[in-house]
Amino acid sequence: MTDGREDWAGDGSTLVVAFEGWNDAGESASSTARAIRDQLGLVPLAEVEPEDYFDYQFNRPVLAFDERGDRVLAWPSVVLSGPEDQGSGIHVLLGTEPSRGWKTFSEEVLDAISVAGIDRIVFLGAMLADVPHTRPIAVFASSENPTVREHFSLERSSYEGPVGIISVLADAAERAGIPTLSIWASVPHYVHNAPSPKATLALIERLEDFVDVQIDRGSLVDEAEAWERGIDALASDDDDMSAYIEQLEQARDTVDSPEASGDAIAEEFEKYLRKRDGDPPPAP
């Protein structure tokens, strides 16, 4: 592990982290991490024991048929994957956000990270926000590490309020001397029920600015265009929705940069949390 002062671009292993659930609007963060894991052919190196951290009434196991036609139970899990030779390179931590025991969970994950020889961590997240689907997805990158911020000319998030497991793990990692940065995408809240390939694509493009990896877009570009056309079609039949989207477009067009500032992203996050506490939307 590093002490946070070493060059981010140096040799060593980078861990990409994403969790399904509260931090994963439009399934875009988990889809990005899954694409990296699958395209690089990463293999499981460690798995967190689900019995210790999950409330099965909240994250229920799923019954499904496997490739042999047998019915099997898939339990919620968090898996650390890495190169088959267990050497340096890109690693991925992917799973369901745990329901309890976050401090102990973080300690267990950091132990696995230490064994794997991880030098730096990129956290991926996505939130529901008041943004239009017709504009580029706003992606905000930040870091609590001064050296990382200086190296990439990043802002420090000014957000204060409730957080998910991503923020808890990031705090634990920085305290352990592992430099981190976080990348968040803003997903239109009025399409919260469907996966957002456009947000996944935006996260992939931003991630490549920080991690030495090229991710095959595959059908993502076509899927993102189809996603946008589908929402356009729904809005065309709903005058109120069309008017609302037009308001969001006007607000977005007043922003000079296609990327939101730290204050703006925090403001959107706070709006989402206020809605969540008052009249909660379905969990992303």
Mean pLDDT of 178-184: 96
- Of 24-38, 126-140, 179-193, 248-262, give the lowest mean pLDDT range: 248-262
What's the pLDDT tens digit per position in 223-270?
A: 999 999 998 888 888 888 888 888 888 887 776 444 545 555 556 555
Burial of 256 (0-12, 13-18, 19+ CB in 10 A): exposed
What's the pLDDT tens digit per position in 70-93?
A: 999 999 999 999 999 877 799 999
Indicate the DSSP class of residue 95: E
The chain-wide mean pLDDT, for the chain, equals: 86
Please state the domain extents for the chain: 13-278
Cα 132-248-22 angle, rounded to 5 deg:
55
Cβ–Cβ under 8 Å, residues 176 and 106: no
Please give the Cα distance from 77 to 20 (Å, whole number): 10
What Cα–Cα distance (Å) separates residue 194 from each residue in 25, 122, 198, 231, 249? Answer: 9, 25, 11, 11, 21
What's the pLDDT tens digit per position in 109-120?
A: 999 999 999 999
Cβ–Cβ under 8 Å, residues 184 and 167: no
pLDDT tops 70 at residue 284:
no
**279 falls in which pLDDT band (50, 70, 90)?**
very low
pLDDT of residue 119: 94
180-188 and 118-129 as β-strands: parallel, antiparallel, unpaired? parallel
What is the CATH T-level fold of the domain 13-278, as seen in this structure?
Rossmann fold (3.40.50)
Q: Which residues of 44-65 are buried (b: 16+ CB within 10 A; e: fewer)?
A: ebbebebeebbeeeebeeeeee
